[in-house]
Amino acid sequence: MILVTGATGRIGSEAVRLLAGRDLPTRALVRDTSRVPKDGAWSGVEVAVGDFDRPHTLDQAMRGVGTLLLISPSVPGQEIAVIDSAVRQGVQHVVKITNHKATPDSPVDRRRDHARIEAHLRASGLRYTLLGPNLLMQNLFAVAPMIKQTHGFVMSAGEGRFGMVDARDVSASAAAVAAAPAGHVGRTYLLTGPELITYADVAAELTHALGQEIEYRRITPEQHREAMVQAGLPEPVAASNAQVFGLIAEGDAAWLSDDVASLTGTSPRGLRAFVTDHVDAFR
């Protein structure tokens, strides 16, 4: 049995669909059953109701599980609780979605958080595989309302290039590892799209797809932090996001890897495919 946490999220929901499509015994951990897809995409999937903050619900969901696909908003206490439950329930292998630059001394809090969780996972004695995606293309949905209203978006990543990856390819990579974990013990895979792009390229692709000029309005990380707070993001999240965009401007995410293709046997989707598939979200 494969248990997927964060199953209603961007990476998890598609991973569940792919695992079920391979007829692998799959269980999805959800907080709220109304979030289970109603279109049959999860046909044959067991649904376990649970919450990272309620360990007994995790223990129930973990019974009989061999492989855990661990996806969460990466709050250390929550993921550590899931790992501890996996140890208690005799899970054999954990596939964890992490950050591509998770180090204990990172200047970025979410990267330090992932490093702390990774350290706990290593010390747990469980077999594990780490998957570190570059920026997700699906992050672009956050600026869709601004694009619809103003035919442009603000961003503080300058001309920094990044190896943006479609979350569907992260899901496919995760499903491939979870389906046959024995060949991936102790390995770390870095997941990217096929090309290095900038936010100017994002604006150009959206312009092409929408048939209307979409402007990339360059702002500083400090202006971006203020704009995100104004838009309702909690201050620490806005500060952390702005910090990451400042790093991207300096080339922090300007790297590519072949790991999606080697795990899935299929080349990752590029930005044009993502925009084409989701153009209505930006219209």
Per CB under 6 A, 6 contacts ligand NAP? yes
Q: Is 73 in the site for ligand NAP (CB under 6 A)?
A: yes
Least distance (Å) between residue 271 CB and ligand NAP? 14
Rule CB under 6 A: is residue 8 a binding residue for ligand NAP? Answer: yes
Q: Which of residues 174-203 bind ligand NAP (CB under 6 A)?
A: none
DSSP states of 179-243 as a string?
Answer: HSGGGGTT-EEEE--SS-B-HHHHHHHHHHHHTS--EEEE--HHHHHHHHHHTT--HHHHHHHHH
Instruction: Please tell me whether residue 26 binds ligand NAP under the rule CB under 6 A.
Output: no
Residues 95, 133, 161, 193: which binds ligand NAP (CB under 6 A)?
Answer: 133
Handedness of CA 145, 146, 148, 153 (dihedral sign): negative
Nearer to ligand NAP, 6 or 160 (CB): 6
Give the residue among 191, 29, 62, 188 at the shortest CA–CA distance from 115: 188
Among 74, 85, 173, 243, indicate the residue that binds ligand NAP (CB under 6 A).
74
**Using rule CB under 6 A, residue 257 touches ligand NAP:** no
Tell me whether residue 9 or residue 160 sits nearer to ligand NAP (CB atom).
9
Q: Which of 4, 10, 69, 228 touches ligand NAP by CB under 6 A?
A: 10
Stretch that binds ligand NAP, among 4-12, 176-184, 235-243, 266-274 (CB under 6 A): 4-12
- Using an 8 Å Cβ cutoff, are 20 and 7 in contact? no
**Positions 30 through 69 that interact with ligand NAP (CB under 6 A):** 31-32, 35, 51-53
Q: Rounded to whole angstroms, how far apart are CA atoms 151 and 174?
A: 35
What is the DSSP secondary-structure string of 97-165? E--TT--TT-SSHHHHHHHHHHHHHHHHT-EEEEEEE-SBGGGGGGGHHHHHHHSEEEES-TT--B--B
CB count in 10 Å sphere of residue 56: 10
The binder of ligand NAP chosen from 2, 3, 9, 177 (CB under 6 A)? 9
Closest Cα partner for 79 from 106, 102, 103, 98?
A: 98
Give ∠ CA 92-105-98 in degrees, rounded to 5. 35
Residues of this chain, 77-96, that bind ligand NAP according to CB under 6 A: 78
Residues in contact with ligand NAP, counted by CB under 6 A, come to a total of 25
Shortest Å distance, C-beta 158 to ligand NAP:
18
Contact 193, 165 (CB under 8 A): yes
In the complex, the smallest distance separating the C-beta of residue 213 from ligand NAP, rounded to whole angstroms, is 26
Identify residues 137-156 at the interface with ligand NAP (CB under 6 A): 139
Residue pointed to by tokens 């909690």: 234
- The site for ligand NAP (CB under 6 A) is made up of 6-12, 31-32, 35, 51-53, 71-74, 78, 97, 99, 110, 133, 135-136, 139
